[in-house]
Every structure is written in C-alpha cells, then in structure tokens.
Structure 1
Amino acid sequence: MSNLPLSGTRLWEALMEMARIGATPKGGCNRQALTALDGEGRALLARWGEQVGLRLTTDRLGNMALLRPGHDPSRRPVAIGSHLDTQPTGGKFDGVLGVLAGLELMRALHEAGTETEAPIVLINWTNEEGARFSPPMMGSGAAMGAFTEAEVLDIRDPEGTRFGDALAAIGWRGEADPADLRDLEAYFELHIEQGPILEREGLDVGIVTHALAQQWFDVIVTGEESHAGGAMSHRRDALVAAAILVQGIEAIAHECGGDARGTVGRIAIEPSSRNVVPSRATFSVDFRNGDEAALDRMAEALRERARAVAAERGVEVEVTPFWSFPQTGFDPALAQRLRDAAIARNLRFRDMPTGIGHDAVYVARQVPSVMIFTPCLGGISHNEAESITPAQAEAGMLVLADAVLATAGFAKG
C-alpha cells in the first residue's frame, strides 16, 4: 500500500480550496447545511469526483455517494464518509477532512490505475452539524432508520424554512432511496478529535472504539412579567430560576465524574426588555456519558433540581426530552485494521472514545463502522480558530487509506 501515490500535499490543497467556500474573516468557514454555499461545496466535490471517474448518486435527503467500482460486483461497497457542512463560525477541517481524505484515496487509486476487489464509495452526509436544521446528523440518521424521511424533510429552521424546500432550492435533492446506503460492507470516518487528548499526549492518531451515550432536553421556565422598578420580594423571575438550573447542570456533570458532560448551548428569554422582569426562559441541555445508567441518573438529577428550583422560586419548570442515542460501539475488527495501519506507518496512537456525535454513530447501527481521530490545536473546534497541520492531516489520511484498502482488497491479476 505504501507505493500508492497518496499525497498529503494534494489533500492539503483540496482542504484549502474547499475552505474558500464560505470563508470567514477570522479564517474559518460558514457553510451551513442547505445554503447556497453548501451547494457550492457539493458541486466542487462532485467535479473532483468526476475528474477521477467516480459515479455520483444523490438521494432524496441530499446525501452524496461517489462510487468507484470494484473488480468483484458481488461485493458491497466499502465506504468512507463525513460531511462538508459547518457551524456558523466553524473551522476548515471538521467533517471536511474525512471527506477529502477519502477523495485523496480515490485520486491515488485513479492515478495508479489500481483496481480494488470491492467497490469503494465516498459519502458526503447531509446536515451533520445541525446548526441550521436541528437535530444534527439528519442525513445519516434517516438513511440508517433513526428518523423517517418525511419527518426530516418537514423540519424547519429558526426562520421557518422547511428542510425539503431548502434542499430543493440548492438543487441537491436526488432520486435515490436513502436506505440504499445501508447496503455497505464497512464504513470508515476520519475526523479531527475536537478535544485536547491526542495533542497533549503527543500522538498522531486515535482509534475510536465507541461513542458516548447522549440525552438532550428542552427546559422551559415560566414565571411572571413585572416592572423592573417593582419590589424584589414578590418577583417570579424566570431568568434567575433558569440561571440557577444552568449552574446545576454543570454541577451534575462534575458530581457524576468520569466522562460525564453537561452543557447548555442555547438560551432565550421573553419578553427580552430592559425594564421587564422575564416571564419565560427556555434553554437546551446536553448530557453525555459512557455509562448509560449514570446518564439516566444525570437526567433524573436535572428533574429533581427543576422541581426544587420551581418550589423555591415560585416558577414552573418543564423538562422535555428532545433527542437521544445510546452508547455505540464500533467494529473491533475494523479498529484492529486501523491499529495495524498505524503500526506499519510508525505512527503513535491510542484507543479512545468519542463524546461527540458523528455520522458514524448512526451508520454503526446498520453497518460495521469505525472512526479515526487526528489531533487539533488546543482541542479547539466549532470555532474559526480550529487548526491542524498538514502532517496531522496526512497521518490520518494514510491510516484511513491503508485500513480501507485492507478491507476492500486489491484485485489480482
């Protein structure tokens, strides 16, 4: 495999060219799902795929599959995938590295004129980020049966635009059945770590063995509007009650310990006037844990704190489940192929979980799947300052390519 003309330079140039689409003043990317810029990024990937003979199929949710046929037509495709969409203030590498590393493998195979036994397919999943349309990972989730196609197409963004209408508007709603993407032999996803562990330990790659379980909630605190000049003693301030709960969510994660995570990422108040005591506060809660029983205890602790705050502050608190998925293990045999590839390349690695949702987490429900992490500077991601080095990108790409080729096999003769 080492004689295949895989090029870290060509991969880096592709990353930088894609980054120009939706480039932000601070050096990041704003290429949110189903925007015109997302459409431009998709079109660039399609052109690159066409140049090396890949056959593009797009399904009814916009998932792009670029196929390189194999020698054995009875073999199911070995897949490489990730996403091109970004956060509003996203970086150049989150998701994009995994797609373009897969493209680099396709380019190298084309340049060498090498045929694999199994077909190889490169997938760009729709709306992994969930920034504009929520929840995240809709394209992979619906393809793997976690959501119905109809419910995804009908989801609205904060401005009321329907997912299906936005997809049609950018010209990327295809005709294929998303469920066709379940018919894969294996699935590989390369991603930046979005955490500091690999960098801190001086490692080249991480072999991702499993994904933590997650539970998300919406919380609504209802109090009473009153004049800001009124007495403090009779207030039912929804925002103050919400602030107490937000602190409690951080405390719940610390009290649980281990790999527990607790985050409030969105909060809004009404009526949002300078001289009116807020009557309503709504916020999101994101809990994660590698122990599902402990995750359930975190959720119950949230409900207990909500009841206590409601009684103490004279408000009403409603806690509603929004989204969840269980702890997900990745395929041990595929993980071993990644370890073997790292060893053969003299790269430093470790096994590790991911506390972050990725398309691979949904794909793993239907297809043997695995993930590879590369380090990122300071663990920073979902941020315009997100950064990796060309050498880090190349190391991840080489391990990905070797493991994919070990799975697909080279045609004989």
Structure 2
Amino acid sequence: MADPTVDGERFRRRFDEFSDIGATENGGVNRPSLSDENKAARDTVVEWFREAGLAVTVDEMGNIFGRRAGANPDADPVLFGSHVDSQYNGGRYDGVVGVLGALEAVEALNDADVTTDRPLEVVAWSNEEGVRFQPDMLGSGVFCDQFDLEYAYEREDKDGKRFGEELERIGYKGDAPCEPRDLHCYFEMHVEQGPFLEQEGLPVAAVEGVFGFSWMNVTFEGQANHAGPTPMDMRHDAFVATADVTRSVRRLTATEGTDLVGTVGSVDVWPNAINVIPETVEFTVDFRSYDDAVVDAAVEQIQREIAHAAEREGLEYEFEEIMRVDADPFDQSCIDTVVDAAETVGCEYTRLVSGAGHDANYLNKIAPTSMIFVPSVDGISHRESEFTEWEDIVTGTEVLLEAVRSKAAE
C-alpha cells in the first residue's frame, strides 16, 4: 500500500475553478455569506465532496459536512476544514485553501486506498467572515453552543434581510441539528494573514493559539448645521470626536501592550454632505492581544477617551461592546501533532499565535484543536491582492494530511 500523496495539480485545478465563482476584475472574489455567489460556492463544495465519496450533511446553520467512513464507525471523528464565504471583494485564499486542502487530503487517502481507524469529516463553516451578518464565525459559534440558533437566524444585513430567511432562500437551511457533538479533534489550515512566515522564509506554522479581541460599536450624536455660517465655537461635530477617538486608538496600541493592535474599521457618517456639519457618526473599534488583561485595559481606556471626546464637542454618545472573545491557547497535543507532521513531511516550520479569529476559536471549546498556517505574501489578506505561493499551499496540505492521519489512528 502506497503512502498517501497530495496531488498538487488536481488541487490547483479545483482551486482555479473555485476562484472563478464570484471572481472580481482585480483577481479577488466576492462571495459574502448567503449571497448567490456563496450559494454557487456551496453547490460546488457539495458536488466535489460527493465525487470524493463523502457522505454530505447540511445542518440548521448551513454548515456543510462531508464524512469519510473509518474502520471503527463508532469512534469520534477527526474534523478538519474552514470556510468558503469571503469578504466583500476579498482574496481567493482566505478560508478556501482550508476546505479544498482538506478535500485534497481525503482524495490522497482515496488514491492510496487507505482507510483510517477513525472517521474523517471535512467541514465548510457558515458565515465565518461576518461582513454581511454580524457577528463573525456564526456557523461554528452555534455548532459549539456559543450562540443560540434563533439569535443567529435573526441577524440582519444592512438591507434588513435576516440570516435564517437568506439561508432558506439559497437552499442551505439543513435538517441536521447544529449543536455540539463528540469529536476526537479539529484541524484548520489557513493562510497566515500576516507577514511573519514570509519574512522568515518558512512554509508552515503550527498555531499555538489565537488573540483575544473586543469589538465595540460607538455612536456620537451632535448637531447638523451649515458648514459656512456656523462659527467654530458653536459646532457640535460628531466626526471631530470620531477623529479624536481614532487617534486615541493608535496611541493606545503604541503604549498599552507589545502585541496590542487596534483598528477603527467601519465608519458611517450622517448626513455625509460636503457642506453640512456631521450630526451622527457610528463607528467600530477593534482591539486584539494574546493577553486578555491588555485588551480589557484598552477597552476601559477607550471608553474614557470616548467620553472625553463627546464632552469636548458637546455630544451625546452610545457605547456597546458587541463582541468579546478571550485569548485562546490551542491543545498542546494537537500542536505537537502538527509539529510532528511538519517533521515527517520534511519542511521547515515555526510556531505562531494568530492575530485573526477563526472557526478554530470556537471548536477549541468543545474539542482538542490546532491550526496550520501557510504564508501570506506581503502579509496581505482581506484584499483582492491576497496571494500565497502554490508550493506553500501544497506543503501545508501535506502537513494537514499527516496530522489528520496521525490523529485518526489514535
């Protein structure tokens, strides 16, 4: 019996075909959750899972599972995969390499006629990105009992369309319960979305954990008035206060913790006219660190800065922490399995902590979990120019295959 081997050409053909779904003119993809393009991507995943001999199940959240039988059908399965929804005009690699790489690992086992002791399941999670329906990682969150199913169904996009209704519209409101179940472990391969691996010239990282983060929503309420006749000392400009807070975010990240990062990423201004003083601004703040105390301190400090900015400009304000996730160390046994797999493959590797959230965050709460990172050229992600060298994707998939085989033999 031959050892399973990743077929890089087959994998590449599938990846290129998948990249045509929702393709943008600048080389990216536009497949936000539950869009028509996301439906087409899901349809393709289901078709390819079945072609690979996987038994397909779709749960109540639209999470797609493809199961490969093991020699011991009663054993808890090894689950591995990622997501196929994208940012608006996002990159081709984010999430997709984890799903198609998992599928290629299954194909390699099929080619070598290898039956694992434990069943294997490949998964494509719903709504990982969270750009159309907030919060992110919604499908895995419900699966891991972090969100209630009805809460998820009631999430609305900016057009007032509900998640549950859109899930039904595209035909992916499945019958299987979306709830925790017994898993032996979970692995997820993903592009790094940062610059470290490329800077170090390394193809693979064993991921030791994920940053904790806080997402906040802030609204300043001022007073609209004519931009010409209104004296500066009579203005209540909501955008001036927003700019002050934005500068505070940058200042805090330079002083409150060595790995603390902060972003004002979404800003809505009303009335958003060139000759009208901004009356209302709603914006978000995102703080992240591998130290939960650092995130907590930053949130407290930015609340003070928001209050001061509102007072200076004579505004009313609202503050809400819309999501808080603690830093998440992964399972040491799974991390070691990834390291051992990299050594078996014969590739160089390192260990990293992820600054981005992933479905693995939630899976780690119900099953031993780790991740495999492959490099992002120039550290770019969530943009159409996102790129990973194909050789690195294949290497990462070989490591994933070895890690899954090892755990499936336990």
Common topology (TM > 0.5): yes
How do 1:329-348 and structure 2 match up within 5 A?
329-348=329-348
Q: Which residue number corresponds to residue 169 of structure 2?
A: 169
Give the letter aligned to residue 44 of structure 2. L
- 2:169 and 2:311 map into 1 onto residues whose CA distance is 49
Deviations 1:85-142 (A, max 9, x none): 1011111110000000100011112222211100000000001011111111000001
Q: Which residue number corresponds to residue 384 of structure 2?
A: 384
Q: Is 1:260 paired with 2:260?
A: yes
Q: Is 1:17 paired with 2:17?
A: yes
Give the letter aligned to residue 224 of structure 1. Q
Q: Is the 8 A contact 2:5 2:398 kept in 1?
A: no
Q: Is the 8 A contact 2:257 2:294 kept in 1?
A: no
Q: How many residues align?
A: 409
Give the letter aligned to residue 216 of structure 1. W
CA drift at 1:385: 0.4
Q: Which residue number corresponds to residue 214 of structure 1?
A: 213
Q: Secondary structure at the match of 2:179?
A: helix
Give the letter aligned to residue 195 of structure 2. P
How do 1:229-378 and structure 2 match up within 5 A?
229=228, 230-378=230-378
Q: Is the 8 A contact 1:189 1:372 kept in 2?
A: yes
Q: Which residue number corresponds to residue 75 of structure 2?
A: 75
Paired-residue identity, %: 37
Q: Which residue number corresponds to residue 115 of structure 1?
A: 115
> What's the RMSD between the two structures over aligned residues?
1.2
CA drift at 1:340: 0.8
Q: Secondary structure at the match of 1:73?
A: coil
How do 1:100-249 and structure 2 match up within 5 A?
100-180=100-180, 182-229=181-228, 230-249=230-249
- 2:212 and 2:388 map into 1 onto residues whose CA distance is 27
CA drift at 1:317: 2.8
Deviations 1:40-95 (A, max 9, x none): 11111111111121000000110000000100022111011100010111111100
| Greater Cα offset, 107-116 or 215-224 | 107-116
Deviations 1:137-186 (A, max 9, x none): 00000110110000001110000001011111111111000115x32110
Q: Which residue number corresponds to residue 97 of structure 1?
A: 97
CA drift at 1:305: 0.8
Q: Secondary structure at the match of 2:287?
A: strand
- 2:401 and 2:93 map into 1 onto residues whose CA distance is 18
Q: Is the 8 A contact 1:261 1:288 kept in 2?
A: yes
- 1:314 and 1:32 map into 2 onto residues whose CA distance is 39
- 5+ residue gaps, structure 1, are none
Give the letter aligned to residue 253 of structure 2. A
Q: Residues 86 and 368 (structure 1 numbering): CA distance in 2 closer, same or farther, change over 3 Å?
A: same
CA drift at 1:2: 7.7
Deviations 1:337-387 (A, max 9, x none): 111111122211111101101000011011111001000110100001011
Deviations 1:213-262 (A, max 9, x none): 11110011111111111211211111111111111111111111311010
CA drift at 1:319: 1.8
Q: Secondary structure at the match of 2:79?
A: strand
- 1:165 and 1:318 map into 2 onto residues whose CA distance is 30
CA drift at 1:204: 1.1
Give the letter aligned to residue 346 of structure 1. G
- 1:16 and 1:153 map into 2 onto residues whose CA distance is 32
Q: Secondary structure at the match of 1:343?
A: helix
> How high is the TM-score relative to the length of structure 1?
0.97
- 1:39 and 1:224 map into 2 onto residues whose CA distance is 43
Give the letter aligned to residue 215 of structure 2. W
Q: Secondary structure at the match of 1:25?
A: coil
- 5+ residue gaps, structure 2, are none
Give the letter aligned to residue 408 of structure 2. A
- 1:14 and 1:24 map into 2 onto residues whose CA distance is 18
Q: Secondary structure at the match of 1:227?
A: coil
Q: Is the 8 A contact 1:12 1:393 kept in 2?
A: no
